[in-house]
Amino acid sequence: MFNAGVGGQDADDMLRRIPAVVAMRPDLVIWQTGSNDPLRHLPLSRFRAETLRGVVLLRGAGIDVMLMEAQDSRRLQAEPEAPRFRIALRSIAAEMQVPLVRRYDLMRDWLAKGTLTPAELMSPDGLHMTDGGYARLAIAVGDQILALSGPVPTPARGPGHAAPAEAGSPGAPRS
């Protein structure tokens, strides 16, 4: 697993880095996007086009993609256009049939249920999560990946490694 994220980048910056990410040959890319674009007042149409292009490039390289929404934060709440970027990312995920981590909803739920307090979830900068928030997010993302993966197959037993016989069945040890 690699963390190829670079803080402060918008979709344009991330799109330019995709060839380097592809060169790492990951099986899965979890792409969190949509925070810096509204903070920089960049066009929603550009964000949408570049995110779509990035998903196409990653998939074309045989890489599974999971998108992740921006966080719920004071700084994004202050940007009137921020919800449109979240809606656009949800639309892209649906159109491209790409799993989406609904980070915004997860964070709101944790706060509503008292799972985390605002101080436990968000750092004082009003934009980034705390270590405790990121830990909770990692668990949620892992759970989503496992759920999407389906049931784990039972390992096949090779020759000489037969499953133990049930008590009372032929071949079971006798006492």
Max CA pair span of the chain: 77
pLDDT, mean over the chain? 86
Return the higher-pLDDT residue of 118 and 126. Answer: 118
**Residues 47-84 pLDDT 10s:** 999 999 999 999 999 999 999 999 999 899 899 999 99
Percentage of the residues of the chain whose pLDDT score is greater than 70: 85
Residue 119 has pLDDT above 60, yes or no: yes
122 burial via Cβ count (<10 Å: 0-12, 13-18, 19+): buried
103 burial via Cβ count (<10 Å: 0-12, 13-18, 19+): buried
Which whole number is the average pLDDT over 125-149?
A: 91
Residue 86 has pLDDT above 70, yes or no: yes
Q: Are 121 and 110 in contact (CB under 8 A)?
A: yes
Which of 76-85, 123-132, 158-167 has the weakest average pLDDT? 158-167
- All domains of the chain, ordered by start, with CATH? 11-149 (3.40.50.1110)
For 153, 154, 170, the CA distances from 165, given in Å and listed in that order, are 20, 17, 8
Which residues lie closer than 8 Å to 32 by C-beta, 6 or more apart?
A: 5, 67, 68, 69, 70, 101, 103
Residue 137 has pLDDT above 80, yes or no: yes
Which residues lie closer than 8 Å to 101 by C-beta, 6 or more apart?
A: 30, 32, 66, 67, 68, 69, 137, 140, 141, 144
